[in-house]
Amino acid sequence: MEIWINPACSKCRSALTLLDAEGAEYTVRRYLEDVPSEDEIRAVLDRLGLEPWDITRTQEAAAKELGLKDWPRDAGARDRWIAALAGHPKLIQRPIITADDGTALVARSEEAVREALSHSKR
């Protein structure tokens, strides 16, 4: 399992604490330093079953500078949103856990982290 984190994020730190408490095996990706490519973002979106605007932090300064709130949320704009996430990784909602069975979750709650654990081998 892999978890995309920002170490400054309290929800990310809480998720790591829970994973450690459960003895989970995982890889940490500090996505602000190891920025995911557009293809990696597409793959995670497919695993999440979400669209890029669903995992975009629209209150971030970069979102306001880009005018994201006015961008269309449709198939024609999907690549534009993905490019924005790759170009401004701070916009990516966190933490994201990709489980061993191919699923993924935005793990902002203890319940979501536990669900990711249930999808991963121990």
- Yes or no: say if 94 and 4 are a contact pair by the CB < 8 Å rule: yes
How many Å apart are CA 32 and CA 48, to the nearest integer? 20
Q: What share of the chain is helix, strand, coil (3-state, %, to 5)?
A: 50, 15, 35
Pairing of strands 27-30, 96-98: unpaired
12 given a catalytic annotation = no
- Active site residue: 2, 9, 32, 90, which one? 9
Q: What is the DSSP string of 11-45?
A: HHHHHHHHHHHTT---EEEETTTSPPPHHHHHHHH
How many Å apart are CA 49 and CA 52, to the nearest integer? 10
Active site residues: 9
